[in-house]
Amino acid sequence: MIRIAYTSLLLLFLSSSVYADELTEAKIAYDSNDHVTAFILYEKLAEQGNFIAQNNLAYMYYNGEGIPQDYQKAFNLYKTLAEEGHVIAQNNLGAMFAQGQGVTQDYKQSVYWYTKAAEQGDVEAQFNLGYMYKKAHGIPQDFKQASYWYQKAAEQGDIDAQVNIAYMYHQGQGVPQDFTQAFYWYEKAAEQGHAKAQYNIAVMYYEGEGVLKDNFESYKWFSISSQNGFGASNVSRVKVENKMTQVEIIKAQKLAKEWIAN
């Protein structure tokens, strides 16, 4: 499954020797769901030029926390910060251009700001840029560039990027077909709890793609994926079950339950 070209607009709670106490107070208010107080505190700091407070103020305008939702004000704040080089604001500005929130939808501008942030190592922007290249939003379709940016994000632990780069390796899309790499990245995502990735490595164990054929492991991962709500795993698990002994099935079920419990 491919995530849409949008990233959650994360709050920045970074330390600052000048504003540390005030930022901490605002954070405590926010975490306590006293968004009105948090907004007032961030607004005061933002007026003094603190970029962390400006970012958080934009976030609160975006979500309507402590203040009525106002995409235009969120957009204006992110735009100012993005032009000053703040990487998260660049990504968030790209997201707002992609969604047409507070501004007319403009994929080219979205790609521009995602690229700015991605080149600075922002994982969300790297994922989003990969999506834009894959879907030809604001830029010609380019699977090679899509795979490049998905892999960058995957290497930073982004679970959706791991699934997408795994798929591209499996299909030979933008990269040489490589079942070993596909299995590697599906496994990374599966270990983080991604139900479809768990299903896919179960299939690869069953087919012997990128890994030695292993009905036991296949059954175990189908069971885990099923418990995580991926419906197709139930049907596939029955096919594997027919090739296993009752002892193997019981052991695989036990290991699946232990994995989920942990």
Find out whether 165 and 154 touch, Cβ atoms under 8 Å. yes
Segment 180-202 shows an average pLDDT of 97
Mean pLDDT of the chain: 91
Backbone angles phi, psi at 214, to 5 degrees: -155, 100
Q: How high is the pLDDT of residue 125?
A: 94
- Using one digit for the tens of pLDDT, what is the confidence trace for 8-32? 445 555 545 567 888 889 989 999 9
Q: CB neighbours of 216 closer than 8 A, spacing ≥ 6?
A: 244, 248, 251, 252
Q: CB neighbours of 128 closer than 8 A, spacing ≥ 6?
A: 5, 6, 7, 91, 94, 95, 98, 110, 114, 118
Find out whether 27 and 47 touch, Cβ atoms under 8 Å. no
- Using one digit for the tens of pLDDT, what is the confidence trace for 247-256? 999 999 999 9
pLDDT band for position 3 (cuts 50, 70, 90) = very low
pLDDT of residue 210 exceeding 90, the answer is yes
pLDDT of residue 208 exceeding 60, the answer is yes
pLDDT of residue 203 exceeding 80, the answer is yes
- Using one digit for the tens of pLDDT, what is the confidence trace for 45-66? 999 999 889 999 999 999 999 9
Q: Alpha-carbon dihedral of residues 188, 191, 196, 198, nearest 10 degrees?
A: 100
Burial of 6 (0-12, 13-18, 19+ CB in 10 A): middle
pLDDT of residue 89 exceeding 50, the answer is yes
Find out whether 168 and 150 touch, Cβ atoms under 8 Å. yes
Both structure tokens of 212: 């030695």
Q: What is the DSSP string of 62-117?
A: HHTSSS---HHHHHHHHHHHHHTT-HHHHHHHHHHHHHTSSS---HHHHHHHHHHH
Q: What is the DSSP string of 24-64?
A: HHHHHHHHTT-HHHHHHHHHHHHHTT-HHHHHHHHHHHHHT
Q: What is the pTM of this model?
A: 0.88
Q: How high is the pLDDT of residue 18?
A: 62
The amino acid at residue 21 is D
Find out whether 33 and 63 touch, Cβ atoms under 8 Å. no
Q: How far is CA 247 from the centre of its chain?
A: 39
Q: How high is the pLDDT of residue 21?
A: 85
Percent of the chain past pLDDT 90, that is, above it, reads 85
Domain 1-141 classified CATH 2.40.128.30? Answer: no
Domain spans, the chain: 1-141
Residue 193 to residues 58, 97, 168, 259, 260, Cα–Cα distance (Å):
31, 31, 20, 10, 9
